[in-house]
Amino acid sequence: MKKIIYTLLFALSFSGAIAQNTSLPTTKVRDLNGKQVSFNEIFEKGKYTLVSFWATWCIPCKQEIKNIKTKLPEWTQQVNFNYVTISIDDARATAMVKTYAKSQGWTFPTYVDPNSDLKRSLNFQNVPYTIIVDPNGNIVYQHTGYEEGAENELFEKILAMSKQ
Domain layout of the chain by residue ranges: 24-162
Please tell me whether residue 144 adopts helix, strand or coil conformation.
strand
pLDDT digits (tens, 9 = 90+) for 56-84: 999 999 999 999 999 999 999 999 999 99
The mean of the pLDDT values for the chain is: 89
Residue 36 has pLDDT above 80, yes or no: yes
pLDDT band, very low/low/confident/very high, at 3 (cuts 50, 70, 90): very low
CB 31 within 8 A of CB 38: no
* Domain 24-162: CATH superfamily, name plus number: Glutaredoxin (3.40.30.10)
> 3-state SS of the chain: helix, strand, coil percent to 5?
45, 25, 30
At residue 18, the pLDDT reads 37
